[in-house]
Amino acid sequence: MNRLLAYWSILMKDMKNYYLKPPNISWGIIFPVSWTLMFFMRSSSAVDIRGILPGVMALSILFGTTSMLAVTITFERKSRSFERLLLAPISLNLLMLAKTTGAILFGIINAFIPVLFASFMTDLSGINWLSTFVGVVLIALTSTFLGLFIAVSVSEVFEAQTFSNFFRFPMMFLCGLFIPIENLPIFLRPLSYALPLTYGADILKYSINATGRISLWLSLLVLFAYSLLLFTVSTHNIKKRWLY
Amino acid sequence: MNIIEVKNLSKSFNDFQAVKGISFAVEKGEVFGFLGPNGAGKTTTINMLTGLAKPSSGEIVISGQDGIRNIKKVQQIIGIVPDESNLYDDLSGFENLVFCASLYGMKKDKREKRARELLKEFSLDDTGNRPFKAYSKGMKRKLTIAAGIIHEPEILFLDEPTTGIDVESARQIRRMIQELNRMGTTIFLTTHYIEDAERLCHRIGFIVGGRVVKVSNVRDLMAEAQHENIVEFRTDSNDPGLEKHLKSTFPNINIKSSKDYCLRISSGDHIELMPFMNFFDGEGINISEARIIRPSLEEVFVSITGIEIDKLKKEKEGKKK
């Protein structure tokens, strides 16, 4: 009960302190809206809009979650208020789950803003909403824990943003969202399959357009394994670097 | 009865050993001062005691619990006030306190009641709804202390509680520390204000170069210091050879010169002033001031650590800025 209370309080504090701040709300909305409009305006038909929807959703999650973690963790670490949490009688795993839940929720909400736009522009019938939602949750988990891994590896907010781009932009072009993996040079293809977003994008493609190329269960498993790995490595790094 | 027991505690960072096998104990209900110059190992020791750093070797027992293996249980009964006021800028004073209480599992009604009580005790009840970032330095310090005791800990670790704040807030914080101690809280205090240590602490441990060099109660330390007679002369000469010349003339007396034209003469025996006046007269040195220094804890600190208090204060203030 005490643990749940601490978890809930940290989550609510972050919501109030960061996620529900007007600049973040507007940024959280403007970013996916811009992505959506940018791609949708270039699409000549309704079929194209549905075709690019998985990509826009995945990128909205990736950029939203990684950017927020860079602020909530790195900034608190810098101002030493994170020490207060490390010194509280709660386990490190629970603390980090509490710190990342806000970003996961933020990512999930970001993912559905393009869906909302698309619903006015094209027919969304036939979408497997259950696997779409599971895919969105898993992409949000993986991206958030990637953001956590980045935030733990740096000491300044700007470093976190720069380091994030090191992961985000290659993923954007190599995960098969906009350029099919089979059209990539052969030496880049193994790299594509090493990126978690490849599997997340495939789940969304499978669920929205039935065009996935990887088994749904394999993608779910890979994303889950990535989440677990990134979370474990991040908490290990916290113990090593911050609880020195 | 000891509430904190530290045995052969060490901490190394690669090749550098910051804490070198220290041992000491803190008794339940006392105010224990932990003093030492910058880089002596104070913060590393506190970090190990509170769970922010892992010891390389040694033992820590806090209130009967293994302070290394069961640190999360120990953290339930300790309060920590770091040297920087590290609460959340955008939360109000009240929200900050309520949030900190929730980390210790306090129920909503209880934590809100306690937060209001503490705001009142620290004279912050009028500003409890203001965001932390709008607080003055003294108010921030008081709220950080309130956050450290919101869950009524058995032991409170206070790191430099009165540094960089106004006189009135510092006085109020000192009163709070005494009151908390009177109510039974054991206090582990680090400060570079020797007057604070003298006024507040029952016992003091001195750490120098990663080693605890002395642990004693304040009365004994003062008695030890008062065995010494000290006279300070302010001269118009800054000749570096003067100290050497004086030492050869008065071999049984300790002499120390400083850059600000001061000569400090100390001895376990009574110091006759006339021979010194004659010496200075003979050397053509004018004396603008001669004063008897009443030995205080400051002298004990200087003799144990070998660092001047003014230098320590300047270093600390500089670090804070």
Residue A40 domain-assigned (yes or no): no
> Domain total for chain A?
1
Q: Kindly identify which residue of chain A lies nearest to residue B87, measuring between CA atoms.
A: A81
pLDDT at B165: 84
Structure tokens of A74?
A: 């790195």
Q: Does some domain include residue A76?
A: yes
**pTM recorded for the entire structure:** 0.83
B88·A243 Cβ contact <8 A: no
Please give the residue range of the domain that contains residue A72.
Answer: 2-15+47-243
The rounded average pLDDT for each run of 10 residues, N- to C-terminus, in chain A (244 residues) is 88 89 72 72 68 88 85 86 94 96 93 88 90 96 94 85 85 84 89 93 92 92 96 94 82
A35, part of any domain: no
User: What is the pLDDT, as a whole number, of residue B235?
Assistant: 87
Q: Which residues of chain B, if any, have pLDDT below 70?
A: 259, 307-321
Q: Tell me which of B78, B99, B143, B152 to substitute to probe the interface with A (most A C-beta atoms closer than 10 Å).
A: B99
Q: What is the ipTM of this complex?
A: 0.87
Whether B105 sits inside 8 A of A87 (CB atoms) is no
Which of A80, A243, A244 has the CB atom closest to B82's CB atom? A80
* Structure confidence at residue B314 (pLDDT): 61
Task: Quote the pLDDT of residue B124.
Answer: 93
Predicted local distance difference test score (pLDDT) of residue B268: 82
Interface probe, candidates B76, B88, B95, B103, chain A, greatest A C-beta count within 10 A: B103
Q: Which of A17, A85, A91 sits opposite B72 (nearest CB)?
A: A91
B103 to chain A: which residues are within 8 Å by CB? 6, 9-10, 84-85, 88-90
Decide if B53 and A244 are in contact by the 8 Å CB cutoff. yes
Q: Identify whether the C-beta of residue A146 lies closer than 8 Å to the C-beta of residue A232.
A: no
Q: Do B104 and A89 touch (CB under 8 A)?
A: yes
- Put simply, whether B278 touches A (Cβ < 8 Å) is no
Is A205 a member of any domain?
yes
Instruction: Say whether B51 and A87 touch across the interface (CB within 8 A).
Output: yes
Residue A170 lies in a domain: yes
Q: Which pLDDT value is given to residue A122?
A: 84
- Given this model, what pLDDT does residue B103 score? 95
Chain A contact present for B261, CB below 8 A: no
- Could you name the CATH architecture of B228-293? 2-Layer Sandwich (3.30)
User: What pLDDT does A47 receive?
Assistant: 57
- The whole-angstrom separation of Cα B227 and Cα B244 is 25
In this complex, the residue of B87, B88, B102 whose CB is nearest that of residue A5 is B102
Q: What is the pLDDT of residue B317?
A: 57
pLDDT at site A46: 57
Assess if residue A20 is contained within a domain.
no
What is the CATH topology of the domain spanning B2-223?
Rossmann fold (3.40.50)
Q: Which helix (H) or strand (E) holds A116?
A: helix A92-121
For chain B, the structural domain boundaries read 2-223, 228-293
Q: Are strands B31-35 and B186-190 parallel, antiparallel or unpaired?
A: parallel
Phi-psi region at A184: left, alpha or beta (left = phi > 0; alpha = psi -120 to 50): beta
